[in-house]
Every structure is written in C-alpha cells, then in structure tokens.
Amino acid sequence: DVKVTQSSRYLVKRTGEKVFLECVQDMDHENMFWYRQDPGLGLRLIYFSYDVKMKEKGDIPEGYSVSREKKERFSLILESASTNQTSMYLCASSFLAYGYTFGSGTRLTVV
C-alpha cells in the first residue's frame, strides 16, 4: 500500500515563526498536494506539485510556500506563522487522476 507520512501529528508554534511541514510518500507518485481543513469550510487546496521542482498555486496560497526537491518529499512552509493559520494540514499524493492517498494530518496551533 502507498504510504504518505507527515512528520508531526501535533505542532504548536509562536506567531512569526517560520514553520516547516514535511510530507513523504513511498510509491513514486508524481502528484502531491497540501490542503488545510477547517470546520465548516471543508478541504481547501493550498499548493500542489506534479513533478520535482514544479509547483502550482491552489485556492489559498497566500502566506504559504512549498518545496519539492525530491520526488518523494513535498514540504509546506509558513513563512511567518499567524494565528489564522491554526488548522489541520493534510498532505496527499496520487498517480494520475486515480485518487489520493492521504497522510494522517498535522494539527497546527499558532499561539
């Protein structure tokens, strides 16, 4: 089975900190995605990547950046964390359009 691993399940950071969320997949998938999930708003796409060093903005990229230096790793970066970035962050990977495999999620709290 494809496994998508997010480095932290729970994270607490201070306002203004630079935050790195790491995601690794082990099945050679081209496509990787970062979402945030908030009550009542569903899943919102932040960024995605369909190849190494390629990235595309999703619906809510402001305040975030990403890095994909290796095929298996897709990092989400909060350049200067703010309280409105407190959320559940979900990473996923896919082969073509055949559906995602998700990681377990990282619940980030910014204080």
Binding stretches for another protein (CB under 8 A): 4, 6, 30-31, 33, 42-43, 45, 48, 50, 56, 90, 92, 94-105, 107
Both tokens of residue 13?
């950071």
Select 65 or 104, whichever has its Cβ closest to another protein.
Answer: 104
**Beta strands, E only, the chain:** 4-6, 10-13, 19-21, 23-25, 31-38, 42-49, 56-57, 64-70, 73-78, 87-94, 100-102, 106-110
Select 29 or 78, whichever has its Cβ closest to another protein.
Answer: 29
The minimum distance between CB 89 and another protein, in angstroms, equals 10
The minimum distance between CB 94 and another protein, in angstroms, equals 4
Select 16 or 74, whichever has its Cβ closest to another protein.
Answer: 74
Select 71 or 107, whichever has its Cβ closest to another protein.
Answer: 107
Q: CB neighbours (10 Å) of residue 57?
A: 13
Place of tokens 């970062």: 34
The minimum distance between CB 96 and another protein, in angstroms, equals 6
Q: CB neighbours (10 Å) of residue 89?
A: 24
The minimum distance between CB 17 and another protein, in angstroms, equals 23
